[in-house]
């Protein structure tokens, strides 16, 4: 019993010495860096904003595959279309991994032209977007989307029309 008390005292003293050396206390208040406005820490590309324009209650997720139908098509005027959820998600994951922590894409979905077709497809045409990296505007353009509405809400079609150099590309 006395040995166990002695070991606990040694551990406590060692922890106190380590905290003193490192200059931190276990009760210190940390000042975390605030996230960029309008962005989710899991999704700097903010793809969820497109879905939220039709279904505001959707929560952001880390897995981009949750945002797209299996047969989604991504169009960019200078390349062949990218078809299929796996390929579109791969493109977005590559962008996210190549980009710095200070990346933020802002979608201005309130400026989109909205149309319904057949009751289950929401058209969002002419959605302006801007891409900021390190607080500096790096890319901008407009995009068209088709959101399939059924059991859930998923993007079925995405056409990117950048002003200048493309950001969304394979």
How confident is the model at residue 14, as a pLDDT?
A: 53
E strand or H helix that includes residue 146: strand 136-149
Residue 108 lies in a domain: yes
How confident is the model at residue 44, as a pLDDT?
A: 86
pLDDT at 73 over 60: yes
Residue 32 lies in a domain: no
Choose among 122, 166, 170: nearest CA to 142: 166
Residues 126-139: tens digit of each pLDDT: 999 999 988 899 99
What phi and psi, each to the nearest 5 degrees, are found at residue 98? -80, -20
Residue 27 lies in a domain: no
Residue 73 lies in a domain: yes
96 burial class (0-12, 13-18, 19+ CB within 10 angstroms)? middle
Write down the mean pLDDT value for the chain: 79
Domain that holds residue 114: 48-162
CATH number reported for the structural domain that contains residue 142 in this entry: 3.10.450.50
Count of domains forming the chain: 1
Residue 135 lies in a domain: yes
- 119/6 Cα distance (integer angstroms): 73
Q: Scanning the structure block, which residue is given the tokens 């894409």?
A: 105
Percent of the chain at pLDDT exceeding 90:
45
Q: Scanning the structure block, which residue is given the tokens 């000042």?
A: 31
How confident is the model at residue 30, as a pLDDT?
A: 38
Choose among 22, 40, 163, 44: nearest CA to 92: 44
Residue 2 lies in a domain: no
Residues 24-71: tens digit of each pLDDT: 444 444 333 333 344 444 678 999 999 999 888 888 887 899 999 999
Residue 11 lies in a domain: no
């Amino acid at each position: 019993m006395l040995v166990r008390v002695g070991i606990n005292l040694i551990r406590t003293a060692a922890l106190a010495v380590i905290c003193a050396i490192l200059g931190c206390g276990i009760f210190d208040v940390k000042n975390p860096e605030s996230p960029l406005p309008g962005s989710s820490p899991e999704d700097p590309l903010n793809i969820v904003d497109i879905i939220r324009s039709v279904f505001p209650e959707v929560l952001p997720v880390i897995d981009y595959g949750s945002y797209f139908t299996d047969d989604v098509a991504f169009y960019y005027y200078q390349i062949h279309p990218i078809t299929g959820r796996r390929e579109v998600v791969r493109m977005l994951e590559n962008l996210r991994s190549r980009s710095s922590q200070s990346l933020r894409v802002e979608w201005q979905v309130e400026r989109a032209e909205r149309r319904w077709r057949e009751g289950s497809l929401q058209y969002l045409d002419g959605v302006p977007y801007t891409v900021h990296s390190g607080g500096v505007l790096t890319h901008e353009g407009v995009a068209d989307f088709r959101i399939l509405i059924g059991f859930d809400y998923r993007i079925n079609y995405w056409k990117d029309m950048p002003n200048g150099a493309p950001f969304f590309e394979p």
